[in-house]
Amino acid sequence: MSDALIDSATRWYVLLRSGQATAGDWQRYEQWRAADPRHDALCRQLEVSLGVFQVPQAQGVSGKVLQQALEAPSSRRHVLQVVLVGAGVAVGAALLAKPTGLTQLTADIRTGTGERRTVTLADGSELLLNAQSAADILFDPQQRLVRLREGELLAKVASDRMRPFLIQTEQTRLRAYGNGFLVRERAGQGQVVALNGAVEIDSQRGERLQLAAGHEVHFDRDGFGPVAASASGATAWVEGFLQVRDRPLTEVIEALRPYHRGVLRLDPAVAELRVSGLYRLDNPEQILDTLARTLPIRITRRTGLWVTVSAT
């Protein structure tokens, strides 16, 4: 994907969030997005990452200033970086190309690329956050609420008969009836694994599911998938491993993205290749090279930030 294409999409998103966009601007944007599948794919990616502009605007950097920065004759990414750093926010080119928004910087707890973190809450509960995850802690006398903005966490819930323990994601609301469960949601795709005790899940569409201990379910904007026995490697990331058994390559790539510094793209032609193995998450490049030796795939690297996995 070219730098020119990234810059074009970035300019559209700054304009549309600036408060200056007209109805004609919106129409032209929709036409540009529909004109090429690459435009639409990049826009969907940037819909997450370019939430970044909400932070600088809140800190006094207007959408108009950002537009002027992007119109500058020098490198748009460089100028945009200067503008955002002037607002007290550090951002680089990789951030604009990768689905990790600066909105995460305002979260109560967060992790960066390749970082895992354990947090002990005021009630004694523990949250283990996977890489590129962010959450808010909202405790009051009536409830204990964790809002997962993005990513994956494993909750070890302390007993409190007076206050339920809840986790809110964009698509679901979970209530714990045991002391351990895992929840993941990235770009509208999610998973819940009940480890010890049941988990009650309410979807955004009003559906309710009671997930028994030892079971898992995937979900998206359309609802819940089938309930299944939880995979043995569901929590392997806590110890720094990726464990898969006869899983599609697309799941492996999704697990590697929070550990890869840059954009990691997968050709749909090889997405369903089956993978089994135990890998160390802290070395995603080595995992990709290992997969290339065992599967009919090719790893193409450009400038260290853009990696494409395609058919040989």
User: In angstroms, rounded to a whole number, what is the distance separating the alpha carbons of residues 129 and 116?
Assistant: 6
pLDDT for 44 beyond 70: no
pLDDT for res 49: 47
Considering the chain, tell me which residue range(s) the CATH 3.55.50.30 domain(s) occupy. 240-311
Is 277 within 8 Å of 257 (Cβ atoms)? no
Please report, rounded to a whole number, the percentage of residues in the chain having pLDDT higher than 90.
56
Query: What mean pLDDT is reported for the chain?
Result: 81
pLDDT for 280 beyond 80: yes
Q: In this structure, which long-range contacts are made by residues 282-288, counting pairs with CB atoms below 8 Å and at least 24 apart in sequence? A: 282/114, 282/240, 284/114, 284/256, 284/259, 284/260, 285/260, 287/242, 287/252, 287/256, 288/256
Distances (CA, A) of 34 to 31, 42, 70: 5, 12, 23
Q: Is the dihedral of CA 232, 236, 237, 242 positive or negative?
A: negative
Distances (CA, A) of 157 to 176, 198, 212, 214, 239: 8, 12, 16, 16, 19
User: In angstroms, rounded to a whole number, what is the distance separating the alpha carbons of residues 104 and 119?
Assistant: 16
pLDDT level of residue 11 (50, 70, 90 thresholds): confident
Q: What would the pLDDT profile of 90-140 be if each residue is shown by its tens digit?
A: 333 333 434 444 445 678 899 999 999 999 999 999 999 999 999 999 999
pLDDT level of residue 47 (50, 70, 90 thresholds): low
pLDDT for 48 beyond 90: no
Packed helices 3-16 and 23-34: angle between N→C axes, nearest 10 degrees: 150
What residues contact 83, with CB distance under 8 A and at least 6 apart?
A: 56, 61, 65, 66, 69
How would you list the strands of the sheet with 263-266, edge to edge? 263-266, 306-311, 297-302
pLDDT for 77 beyond 80: no
User: In angstroms, rounded to a whole number, what is the distance separating the alpha carbons of residues 266 and 258?
Assistant: 15
Considering the chain, tell me which residue range(s) the CATH 2.60.120.1440 domain(s) occupy. 109-229
pTM over 0.85: no
CATH number of 109-229: 2.60.120.1440
Name which CATH class applies to 240-311.
Answer: alpha beta
